Structure 1
């Protein structure tokens, strides 16, 4: 006899996401479930995207998806939740309530120092430069700048 509804634990592989990073979200159910899909997953889509669900193994208990934060986001409070009403176990017991990940932080905004743009990267020659050789050095800023000259 099984009258207990399925439960879920939601974990995320990285609790501090920065620009260019993504994380694996793992959904681990207490028992085999059916009906689980992205419609059951709740998160703030304005802050990131969740890729397709992939079953891990063949027992129907563990699923993963890749979460990718959007650019130019700074948010200290984020979770990924599962509405369990959309899933059932093999005996037809519908899930109840929600399961939620722990909090994670997103910071994909460019670094700004003292309210001013900052240099994100400087790229120049990767080998020894001999005299009388012209080289190009590229400065990349966190935002558009004006007035940047050799004097800087």
Structure 2
């Protein structure tokens, strides 16, 4: 009757006789015998295990039908921006294949049109599309990151640079150790002050890379950060005057006991060269360094 109501045809007991007058037994034909009316069209959902593909990546595509179907094959699939491997199924409900982008960066699309397959009752099915509206994209362009050499007297300096992708993750490598940096979202990145450990005087290698959400990794931006915090402190033992340098505001003296690993810092303010500095030192091996 077109309503989809489960059909049933029955004859009751004792409603007929044979020619000798014996009452007969009835029977029922219904769903217990597999007698059904199916007027519901099957549906399809196309999904992927990786929505954002980087250069060289592939994605596993799954075609999931609401029920077992007939007549579905590769000819029913329309592809844009790549190719699809052979379809595989074990139950005619779930089909899988591998999508390979064509390398051009073309926005990918995988679709099955309506009425291109049926369920086992012959009802025509509805299609589906997997494309950019679902977040399915191919991104083959790596971010570009920049860094400019730095010379500073701060031995735990902040570092900054440029990045052309506000969503990229930035990692700064100093002397072989990685430090996550902050992408400011405005075309710059920052490694905060005091993130680095105390660096000794001299140049230190820096390499900066950025990775976008698709997994594309930038070429490294390389350079150096040079720490120049030391200067020679010369004393005139005659009048206890500091000959050089002669700071106009302050000087900090760093004293390191090499044998015991003790570090002391003392700041001398105002016109240092006008004052007598008396150092009483009981270390075995002493390094002096102005900082």
Answer whether TM exceeds 0.5 for this pair. yes
User: Counterparts of 2:109 and 2:46 in 1: how far apart (Å)?
Assistant: 9
Matched, 1:66 2:95: no
Q: Which residue of 1 aligns with 2:83?
A: 49
- 1:84–1:74 distance in 2 versus 1, CA, 3 Å: closer
Q: Which residue of 2 aligns with 1:104?
A: 136
Moved more, 100-109 or 62-71: 100-109
- Match among 110, 116, 119 for residue 80 of structure 1: 110
SS of corresponding position for 1:39: helix
User: Counterparts of 1:74 and 1:83 in 2: how far apart (Å)?
Assistant: 21
Q: Which residue of 2 aligns with 1:24?
A: 60
SS of corresponding position for 2:115: helix
User: Counterparts of 2:109 and 2:105 in 1: how far apart (Å)?
Assistant: 15
Q: Deviations over 1:54-95 (max 9, x none)?
A: 11x3x21000010011113154xx432111312111111111
SS of corresponding position for 2:96: strand
Q: By how many angstroms is 1:51 displaced?
A: 1.0
SS of corresponding position for 1:21: coil
Larger radius of gyration: 2
Q: Which residue of 2 aligns with 1:4?
A: 40
User: Counterparts of 2:76 and 2:106 in 1: how far apart (Å)?
Assistant: 25
Q: By how many angstroms is 1:28 displaced?
A: 0.5
Structure 1: 5+ residue stretches without partners:
115-141, 143-152
User: Counterparts of 1:72 and 1:113 in 2: how far apart (Å)?
Assistant: 19
Q: Deviations over 1:80-130 (max 9, x none)?
A: 21113121111111114x212233110124x3748xxxxxxxxxxxxxxxx
List aligned pairs for 1:122-137, cutoff 5 A: none
Q: Is the 2:118–2:124 contact (alpha carbons within 8 Å) kept by the matching residues of 1? A: yes
Q: TM-score, length-normalised on structure 2?
A: 0.34
Q: By how many angstroms is 1:5 displaced?
A: 1.0
User: Counterparts of 2:102 and 2:144 in 1: how far apart (Å)?
Assistant: 22
Q: TM-score, length-normalised on structure 1?
A: 0.63
SS of corresponding position for 1:80: strand
RMSD: 2.1
- Name which structure has the greater RCO, CA cutoff 8 Å, separation 6+: 1
